[in-house]
Structure 1
């Protein structure tokens, strides 16, 4: 009887955690460059003597949906969006992390930043001189028109990476990092569109449908749990009699 209780309890726990993942996706449906989380589950045996037939669900919520979001023009010089597959690289701690967000800014020293983190180029953090105009080319090259000049000059090239979908996970602040923890190599295949931003790749309809299904799963697990409890109670009453 307790094996059924384990199954019902594990299923209910999985449904609750899956609902948290879906709720977080819906909350970020309007976040620029957000990548939807995908909840996956696998079974794991309960440790200990006599528990061979008991299994629990192990929830893994670090898989990332890699489909592209919708590109929207902004006309802003420092905005950029990746066309197709690829990621921008930003400094994070002693290493680097990756993102699809491209609403870049400049700090007081002219360093290109994203949410307070340095945007990385082929030579490290990108620093721009005083300029009248900035362009981000399709290959990620950053060009500026310095004050007092008439010709655009190349400053650096954005570090763009194109990893395999399964090679990424989200870290504690929501940035993407390699599963092995090391930096990813740059790719010449990634294309960029300046003056655009990419929206979230969350589909609100898909998330709502999945949430409804999860609610039904949870209700079913609770019915199983109640049935197991009633069967155990009836068995105990028979033993007493």
Structure 2
């Protein structure tokens, strides 16, 4: 009975949907996290009667056919790169991007990765790094006797060294844009990697046209909406229950047929 197999695909799809929702809820307080959404598409159809063919030889064509769908499949799990709420921290090295763009960080193998998590600090050499120790690209080093650090909306980093009257420019934070942000590969640790689907990064300075600007002393929170996730969770649960009910009903119908054949 096809209904059993069809309903099983529906239960598998809703199981995936539930896992995606669970991950969103788990990351509700993760800095720079982008919520994911499972996308589904129907499976192939089994044609029992084709439309548009003659009903009998040389007679009128059939206006509608008989096509039975064979279920559903997960076609994608897409990240939604909308902005999260700003969270004030007061930390002089914390920065958030208002608008489009990603910070660039250096991976252990020397390649460049991308993140919206601007929770930065300095390492033992004074280099600005992420909370996991990855250096920000381009590399910016803060002198040991710095008494004040200022990062403006254009990403320029200034420092007051010792008791100097004037600020010294230490470097420029650059950000990257992508044609298809949803095509970036998630690596964990709030990091994304360029892929063929995302396209090559377009590098620029914050506050340039098409680039977001920098806000010092803030972090971008997760864009997960608790109310929306709970709604999606209830919807997934109901869909799972309905598919389960289809399996129970199909099994009961098969049992009735089997009983009558005895």
Taking structure 2 as the reference length, what is the TM-score of the superposition?
A: 0.79
Query: What corresponds to 2:65 in structure 1?
Result: none
Instruction: Count residues with an aligned counterpart.
Output: 231
Select the residue among 201, 223, 236 that pairs with 1:184. 201
Query: What corresponds to 2:52 in structure 1?
Result: none
Contact 1:22–1:211 (CA under 8 A) maintained in structure 2: yes
Where structure 2 has 5 or more consecutive residues not aligned to the other structure, the ranges are 46-67
SS in 1 for 2:219: strand
Question: Shift in Å at residue 89 of structure 1?
Answer: 1.4
Query: What corresponds to 1:57 in structure 2?
Result: 73
Select the residue among 234, 240, 244 that pairs with 1:222. 244
Q: Distance in 2 between matches of 1:107 and 1:148?
A: 23
Contact 1:44–1:58 (CA under 8 A) maintained in structure 2: no
Query: 2:113 matched to 1:125?
Result: no
Contact 1:83–1:193 (CA under 8 A) maintained in structure 2: yes
Aligned ranges 1:162-173 → 2 under 5 Å: 162-164=177-179, 165-173=181-189
Query: What corresponds to 1:195 in structure 2?
Result: 217
Query: What corresponds to 1:22 in structure 2?
Result: 21
After superposition, what is the alpha-carbon deviation per residue over 1:188-236, rounded to whole angstroms, capped at 9, x for unaligned?
3221111111211110000001101111000000001111212222233
Q: Distance in 1 between matches of 2:199 and 2:128?
A: 23
Question: Shift in Å at residue 65 of structure 1?
Answer: 1.4
Query: What corresponds to 1:49 in structure 2?
Result: none
Q: 1:147 to 1:118 in 2, by over 3 A?
A: farther
Aligned ranges 1:84-95 → 2 under 5 Å: 84-94=99-109, 95=111
Q: Distance in 2 between matches of 1:66 and 1:150?
A: 42
- Larger Rg computed on CA atoms: 2
Query: 2:200 matched to 1:175?
Result: no
Where structure 1 has 5 or more consecutive residues not aligned to the other structure, the ranges are 47-51
Q: Distance in 2 between matches of 1:141 and 1:235?
A: 76
SS in 2 for 1:186: strand
Question: Shift in Å at residue 45 of structure 1?
Answer: 5.1
Contact 1:159–1:186 (CA under 8 A) maintained in structure 2: yes
